[in-house]
Amino acid sequence: MNVSPSFLVCLTVGLTVFGLPFPAPSSGEEKSAARRVFKAGAATSNITPPLGMEIVGNFAPRPIASHVHDELHVRCLALDDGETRLVFAVADTISLGRDVWDEAKLKIEAATGIPVANLMFSGTHTHSSVSAITNQDPSLNYRQFIISRVVDGVRRAVNNLEPARIAWGTGKVPQHVFNRRWLLKEGVTNPNPFGGLDRAVMNPSSLLRARLAGPAGPTNPEVYCLSVQALDGRQIALMANYWLHYVGGVNKEDLSADYFGEFCRRVGQLLGTEQQEPPFVGILANGPCGDVNNNDYSGKTPAVKREPYEKIKLVANDLAQEVLKVQQTLKHQDWVPLKATADELELAVRRPTPEMVSWAEGVLAKPKDSQETHRLEKPYAERTIAARDAKPDTIKAVTQAFRIGELGIAAIPFEVFTEIGLEIKARSPFANTFTIELANGSYGYLPTPAQHDVGGYETWLGTNRVERTASDKILAKTLEMLKRVR
């Protein structure tokens, strides 16, 4: 059964929604509920890097961090049904490679006994963070620092496990999501940095507005809410999932958690949890939004000049207000079954054609003062050569699914197009399903084959790094895994 996004869903054993009864637990689950205690615990770890590191997320030249506007954190939630433990860790970082997450998971498994498959770790995709892969100063090993902080955060969340109740539901915040890819009218094209022409353009300028046919894909207005409370009613954690890229509008040399961090702060403030012990933990995991941002390119929204961080606060507050409205309607359950599965999907690495290599070599051979054909031709020429020489020929992407009662959660290590997430939701065996992107690794953008046909930034070699049909394979694998935990 697929629930309309326009409805708020509260799934409780024996509850009837939309006139249809949800499946009662099996006799085995009833016995489990009778003899087991559901527990939850949450914690945060500060992962703010030292000043002086390069802020990633944009093309060179990249700014060097000289100020911390707001601290970066990894926010952790542990759930325990008496037999199975699941853990979420959401880090304020643009993304983290699989090797970083893998090392953290192995250390956590050794320290806590929680299987690696039961650990779902992701990055928020703030563009005001630094890389955990490269370090300008060898003495600043941010990679090892962030691993140690993730491990500590999860261990502390496990230490904080206490008897709890859980609920989930959905609300709608449609006013902040816009598809940033636009199709051009029939016969109209736009140059790409490879010397070719595209039918789709990302973030079109006002000069292109008269030539636009419409958005190239959908958006998802929903915000998903997972609420965990102690038996005395104290809010342990509240995890949301919203399908929106970073908001931005920050000072360029600032480190910031963007609207993800501001949401966590604001939702705690609205709940009045500032003095709570153990501290309340707000979490915002990013959903499939590889083609969605906060800017309306249709011309229908009046342009407003905003101060730094103003728009971040606006989006975060609207999101927090809606999540709190959802949370106040939920009926928390004393026990639900938990289940997890994880697997690897092998995907071919995308390679340039001989024509693309020839073009790239020509671009890189140009004198420094020569005129550019496209403003991004040099970085994409460099990426083209790197893609030609990259080893090995395949990558192994972690795919993962969790079951929390009648809620399904999928995790994908890409910047996933919204239409893929919506198809997972529509075809899932669960009444309610959401997807977390940039989870357990980061392999670039994940367009559909049809989006590859029309081109645009997210489909370019170097931005997209895997085979053209990767989204079809990931979709099939994700649906199979959701059935497995169901």
For residues 279 and 292, give the distance between their C-alpha atoms in angstroms, rounded to a whole number.
33
- The answer, yes or no, to whether residue 23 has pLDDT greater than 50, is no
- The answer, yes or no, to whether residue 457 has pLDDT greater than 50, is yes
- The answer, yes or no, to whether residue 6 has pLDDT greater than 90, is no
Report percent pLDDT > 90 for the chain.
Answer: 86
Locus of tokens 């030292």: 50
For residues 338 and 29, give the distance between their C-alpha atoms in angstroms, rounded to a whole number.
11
Over residues 229-247, mean pLDDT = 97
**Of the listed ranges 30-39, 116-125, 331-340, 341-350, the one predicted with least confidence:** 30-39
For residues 236 and 319, give the distance between their C-alpha atoms in angstroms, rounded to a whole number.
19
- Take residue 323 and report the two structure tokens written for it: 């999540």
**Of the listed ranges 149-163, 289-303, 413-427, 440-454, the one predicted with least confidence:** 289-303
Higher model confidence: residue 272 or residue 29? Answer: 272
Over residues 239-258, mean pLDDT = 97
Over residues 437-456, mean pLDDT = 98
Q: Cα Rg for the chain, rounded, in angstroms?
A: 22
Single pTM value for the model? 0.91
Contact 422, 108 (CB under 8 A): no
For residues 234 and 428, give the distance between their C-alpha atoms in angstroms, rounded to a whole number.
32
The pairing of strands 407-412 and 394-404 is: antiparallel
Local confidence band at 376 (pLDDT 50, 70, 90 cut-offs):
very high
Among the listed residues 198, 196, 179, the one whose alpha carbon sits nearest the alpha carbon of residue 188: 198
- The answer, yes or no, to whether residue 251 has pLDDT greater than 50, is yes
- For residue 15, the model assigns a pLDDT of 36
The CA-based dihedral angle spanning residues 466, 125, 413, 450, taken in that order and rounded to the nearest 10 degrees: -50
**Of the listed ranges 11-25, 140-154, 305-319, 453-467, the one predicted with least confidence:** 11-25
Exposed/middle/buried for 106, CB within 10 Å: 0-12, 13-18, 19+?
middle
Is the Cα torsion angle 99, 105, 106, 107 positive or negative in sign? positive
- For residue 303, the model assigns a pLDDT of 84
- The answer, yes or no, to whether residue 8 has pLDDT greater than 70, is no
Local confidence band at 20 (pLDDT 50, 70, 90 cut-offs):
very low
- The answer, yes or no, to whether residue 30 has pLDDT greater than 90, is no
Is the Cα torsion angle 365, 371, 374, 379 positive or negative in sign? positive
For residues 171 and 326, give the distance between their C-alpha atoms in angstroms, rounded to a whole number.
6
- For residue 14, the model assigns a pLDDT of 36
Among the listed residues 422, 432, 428, 433, the one whose alpha carbon sits nearest the alpha carbon of residue 479: 428
CA angle centred on 271, ends 269 and 277, rounded to 5°: 85
**DSSP labels, 347-388:** EEBP---HHHHHHHHHHHTS-TTSPPSSTTHHHHHHHHHHHH
For residues 444 and 104, give the distance between their C-alpha atoms in angstroms, rounded to a whole number.
21
- For residue 60, the model assigns a pLDDT of 77
Over residues 94-107, mean pLDDT = 96
Per-residue pLDDT tens digits for 171-220: 999 999 999 999 999 999 999 999 999 999 999 998 898 999 999 999 99
For residues 473 and 483, give the distance between their C-alpha atoms in angstroms, rounded to a whole number.
16
3-class SS of residue 470: helix
Contact 137, 172 (CB under 8 A): no
- For residue 33, the model assigns a pLDDT of 53
- The answer, yes or no, to whether residue 134 has pLDDT greater than 60, is no
Contact 163, 290 (CB under 8 A): no
Q: What is the mean pLDDT of the chain?
A: 92
Per-residue pLDDT tens digits for 290-338: 999 999 999 888 889 999 999 999 999 999 999 999 999 999 999 999 9
For residues 240 and 286, give the distance between their C-alpha atoms in angstroms, rounded to a whole number.
8
- For residue 2, the model assigns a pLDDT of 45
Local confidence band at 61 (pLDDT 50, 70, 90 cut-offs):
confident
Exposed/middle/buried for 427, CB within 10 Å: 0-12, 13-18, 19+?
middle
